[in-house]
């Protein structure tokens, strides 16, 4: 329990500008993940269309 109260004190003593910076970092991370997800979706879609074209060719 003592360690827990120490952690709470440390959180309270952090300056006010930190949370906004953390949010910015978080947002950029989410944007990156979304971009990666979109890329993966388009990649899988193109793979599927390619395989379909190959099958039609045969």
Helices and strands (DSSP H and E) totals, the chain: 2, 0
pTM: 0.34
Q: What is the pLDDT of residues 1-21, one digit of tens each?
A: 455 555 555 555 555 556 677
Please give the DSSP secondary-structure letter assigned to residue 16: T
- Residue 47 tokens, joined: 């793979």
Distances (CA, A) of 3 to 10, 14, 28: 11, 17, 32
**pLDDT tens digits along 18-42:** 667 777 888 887 787 888 888 888 8
The SS3 assignment for 14 reads coil
Determine the pLDDT at residue 43. Answer: 83
pLDDT score of 12: 58
Rg (CA), the chain: 23
């Amino acid at each position: 329990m003592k360690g827990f109260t120490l952690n709470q004190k440390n959180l309270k003593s952090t300056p006010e500008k930190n949370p906004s910076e953390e949010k910015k970092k978080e947002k950029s991370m989410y944007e990156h993940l979304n971009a990666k997800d979109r890329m993966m979706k388009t990649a899988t879609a193109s793979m599927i269309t390619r395989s379909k074209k190959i099958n039609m060719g045969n």
